Structure 1
Amino acid sequence: MTDSPDRPAAHKFVLRPGAPSLPGVRLDARWRVPVYMGRRLPKALAPYAASVFSWEWMIQDVLNGRMPPPVVARERPPLREYQHEPVKLIQNAHASQAPGFLLAYPTGSGKTAMCICATHDLPDVRRVLVVTKLDVVPAWRRAISYFGSGGKRWVVINPEQLWRLFFHPLRPLNSLPVDKAAEFAAQGGILHFPFDVVIVDESHMLASPASLRSRTVQRLLLPEHGTNRRPWFLRASASPFSNPGETAYLDDLLAHAAGVDAPGALSRAGYQEWLSSLGFTLNTDHTRRWFHDLNGDDVNKLNHLLFSRGVGTTATAEELGLPSMTRELRPVELSPDDQVQYESAWSEFRAQYGLEAVDDVLDSTSEALRRVQKASLLKAPKVAQIVAGLVEEGYQVVVPAWYLDSVSAIARLTAAALKARGLPDRVVEITGADRHLRERKRQLFQAGHALVAVTNSLEGVNFHAGERGGAGNGRDATQSPRACVIADVLTGGRRILQAEGRTHRDGQRSQTVYVFAENTLEEEWLARVLRAAAGTQALVQSPRDAQDLMDLAAQLTGAVDGRPGQ
Structure 2
Amino acid sequence: MPGRRRRTTSRSTSTTRTPTAARRKPLARHGAKPAPERLVAGPGERVWVLAVPFRAPAPGAQWRPDLQVHVWVGRELPPELAPYDPPPYTLERFLEDELNATPRPVPPGRPLVPREEQATGAEAVVASAAAGHRVFLLGDDPGVGKTGTTVLAAREICETRGGTRVLVVADRPAAITIPHWARSIAGFGDGGLRWCVTTWDRLAKVSKLPFDVVIADEAHMVRHTTTQRWKHWKAVSGAGRAKDVPFVIAATATPAHTPLELPYLAPQLAQRAGEPIRAWADLPAKLAEHGFHVERGRYGWAWTEDADARRADLARLQGWLDDGDPPATLHRSAPWGPVSVTGTPVALTPAERAAYESGWQEFRAEMRLARRARQTARGRAALLRFRQKAGLIRAQATVDWIRAQVEAERQVAVSVEFVETAADPIREALLDAGIAVASIYGRDRFDVEAERLRFQTGAAPVCVFTVTASISLHAGELLPSGLTASTGQRVGLFHQPRFSGIQARQVTGRTHRDGQVSPWRVAFAEDTVEEQVARVMVERLAVSGSTAGADTSALQQIAELLDADWLPPTALTDA
Coarse TM-score class (shorter-chain normalised): 0.7 to 0.9
Equivalent in the alignment of 1:439:
449
Equivalent in the alignment of 2:88:
52
In the alignment, the residues of structure 1 paired with residue 464 and residue 107 of structure 2 have an alpha-carbon distance, to the nearest angstrom, of 42
1:143 aligns with 2:184: yes
In the alignment, the residues of structure 1 paired with residue 462 and residue 337 of structure 2 have an alpha-carbon distance, to the nearest angstrom, of 23
- Amino acid of the structure 1 residue aligned with 2:496: D
SS of 1:389 mapped into structure 2: helix
1:207 aligns with 2:245: no
Task: After TM superposition, list the pairs within 5 Å mapping 1:286-305 onto structure 2.
Answer: 293-294=307-308, 295-305=310-320
Equivalent in the alignment of 1:521:
529
Q: How many equivalent pairs are there?
A: 496
In the alignment, the residues of structure 1 paired with residue 560 and residue 200 of structure 2 have an alpha-carbon distance, to the nearest angstrom, of 37
Cα contact 1:292–1:538 (8 A) shared by 2: no
Cα contact 2:430–2:436 (8 A) shared by 1: no
Equivalent in the alignment of 1:390:
405
Equivalent in the alignment of 2:9:
none
How many Å apart are 1:313 and its aligned residue?
0.8
Cα contact 1:465–1:503 (8 A) shared by 2: yes
In the alignment, the residues of structure 2 paired with residue 261 and residue 364 of structure 1 have an alpha-carbon distance, to the nearest angstrom, of 41
Task: After TM superposition, list the pairs within 5 Å mapping 1:62-461 onto structure 2.
Answer: 62-66=98-102, 77-122=112-157, 123-135=161-173, 136-166=177-207, 191=208, 193-222=209-238, 228-262=243-277, 263-266=279-282, 271-281=283-293, 293-294=307-308, 295-309=310-324, 310-317=327-334, 321-344=335-358, 363-404=378-419, 405-416=421-432, 419=433, 424-434=434-444, 437-461=447-471
SS of 1:434 mapped into structure 2: coil
In the alignment, the residues of structure 2 paired with residue 326 and residue 93 of structure 1 have an alpha-carbon distance, to the nearest angstrom, of 34
- Amino acid of the structure 2 residue aligned with 1:148: G
How many Å apart are 1:72 and its aligned residue?
10
- Amino acid of the structure 2 residue aligned with 1:128: V
Match of 1:40 among 42, 66, 76: 76
Cα contact 1:159–1:213 (8 A) shared by 2: yes
How many Å apart are 1:257 and its aligned residue?
3.1
Equivalent in the alignment of 1:171:
none
- Amino acid of the structure 1 residue aligned with 2:163: V
SS of 2:384 mapped into structure 1: helix
Cα contact 1:243–1:535 (8 A) shared by 2: no
Most deviating of 231-240 and 430-439: 430-439
How many Å apart are 1:311 and its aligned residue?
1.1
Cα contact 2:133–2:271 (8 A) shared by 1: yes
In the alignment, the residues of structure 2 paired with residue 333 and residue 564 of structure 1 have an alpha-carbon distance, to the nearest angstrom, of 26
Cα contact 2:214–2:247 (8 A) shared by 1: yes
In the alignment, the residues of structure 2 paired with residue 64 and residue 86 of structure 1 have an alpha-carbon distance, to the nearest angstrom, of 36
Shift in CA distance, 234/200, structure 1 to aligned 2, threshold 3 Å = same
Provide the aligned C-alpha RMSD in A.
Answer: 3.6
Cα contact 1:524–1:562 (8 A) shared by 2: no
Most deviating of 460-469 and 274-283: 274-283
Cα contact 1:106–1:316 (8 A) shared by 2: yes
How many Å apart are 1:482 and its aligned residue?
0.7
How many Å apart are 1:322 and its aligned residue?
2.4
Cα contact 2:166–2:211 (8 A) shared by 1: yes
Shift in CA distance, 426/202, structure 1 to aligned 2, threshold 3 Å = same
Cα contact 2:359–2:386 (8 A) shared by 1: no
1:61 aligns with 2:97: yes
Shift in CA distance, 272/447, structure 1 to aligned 2, threshold 3 Å = same
Shift in CA distance, 49/237, structure 1 to aligned 2, threshold 3 Å = same
- Describe the superposition over 1:249-284 as per-residue Cα deviations: whole angstroms up to 9, x where unpaired: 222223333444444433xxxx43422333433599
Shift in CA distance, 277/460, structure 1 to aligned 2, threshold 3 Å = same
- Amino acid of the structure 2 residue aligned with 1:398: A
In the alignment, the residues of structure 2 paired with residue 479 and residue 73 of structure 1 have an alpha-carbon distance, to the nearest angstrom, of 28
- Amino acid of the structure 1 residue aligned with 2:167: L
Most deviating of 12-21 and 528-537: 528-537
- Amino acid of the structure 1 residue aligned with 2:460: A
Task: After TM superposition, list the pairs within 5 Å mapping 1:467-482 onto structure 2.
Answer: 467-469=477-479, 473-482=481-490
In the alignment, the residues of structure 1 paired with residue 233 and residue 436 of structure 2 have an alpha-carbon distance, to the nearest angstrom, of 41
Equivalent in the alignment of 1:356:
none
In the alignment, the residues of structure 1 paired with residue 486 and residue 541 of structure 2 have an alpha-carbon distance, to the nearest angstrom, of 30
How many Å apart are 1:234 and its aligned residue?
1.0
Shift in CA distance, 380/290, structure 1 to aligned 2, threshold 3 Å = farther
Shift in CA distance, 43/477, structure 1 to aligned 2, threshold 3 Å = farther
In the alignment, the residues of structure 2 paired with residue 71 and residue 372 of structure 1 have an alpha-carbon distance, to the nearest angstrom, of 48
Most deviating of 237-246 and 495-504: 237-246
Equivalent in the alignment of 1:504:
512
Shift in CA distance, 273/48, structure 1 to aligned 2, threshold 3 Å = same
How many Å apart are 1:159 and its aligned residue?
1.7
Cα contact 1:223–1:229 (8 A) shared by 2: no
What is the TM-score with the length of structure 2 in the denominator?
A: 0.77
SS of 2:67 mapped into structure 1: coil
- Amino acid of the structure 1 residue aligned with 2:58: S
Equivalent in the alignment of 1:355:
none
Shift in CA distance, 40/366, structure 1 to aligned 2, threshold 3 Å = same
SS of 1:300 mapped into structure 2: helix
How many Å apart are 1:513 and its aligned residue?
0.6
What is the TM-score with the length of structure 1 in the denominator?
A: 0.78
Cα contact 1:14–1:34 (8 A) shared by 2: yes
Most deviating of 249-258 and 25-34: 25-34
In the alignment, the residues of structure 1 paired with residue 149 and residue 471 of structure 2 have an alpha-carbon distance, to the nearest angstrom, of 19
How many Å apart are 1:28 and its aligned residue?
5.0
How many Å apart are 1:518 and its aligned residue?
2.4
Larger Rg: 2
In the alignment, the residues of structure 1 paired with residue 219 and residue 255 of structure 2 have an alpha-carbon distance, to the nearest angstrom, of 7
Cα contact 1:241–1:536 (8 A) shared by 2: no
Shift in CA distance, 453/56, structure 1 to aligned 2, threshold 3 Å = same
In the alignment, the residues of structure 2 paired with residue 245 and residue 110 of structure 1 have an alpha-carbon distance, to the nearest angstrom, of 27
Give the unaligned 5+ runs of structure 1: 1-7, 167-190, 350-359
Shift in CA distance, 347/61, structure 1 to aligned 2, threshold 3 Å = farther
How many Å apart are 1:11 and its aligned residue?
3.3
- Describe the superposition over 1:22-69 as per-residue Cα deviations: whole angstroms up to 9, x where unpaired: 34x3345853532333443333322210221112112222333126x8
Shift in CA distance, 389/498, structure 1 to aligned 2, threshold 3 Å = same
Cα contact 2:258–2:548 (8 A) shared by 1: no
How many Å apart are 1:106 and its aligned residue?
0.5
Cα contact 1:103–1:312 (8 A) shared by 2: yes
Give the unaligned 5+ runs of structure 2: 1-42, 364-374, 566-571
- Describe the superposition over 1:403-436 as per-residue Cα deviations: whole angstroms up to 9, x where unpaired: 11211112123344xx3xxxx5111321132365
In the alignment, the residues of structure 2 paired with residue 559 and residue 210 of structure 1 have an alpha-carbon distance, to the nearest angstrom, of 24
- Describe the superposition over 1:411-464 as per-residue Cα deviations: whole angstroms up to 9, x where unpaired: 123344xx3xxxx51113211323651111111111111110111122222111
- Amino acid of the structure 1 residue aligned with 2:286: W
- Describe the superposition over 1:270-299 as per-residue Cα deviations: whole angstroms up to 9, x where unpaired: x43422333433599xx9876695532123
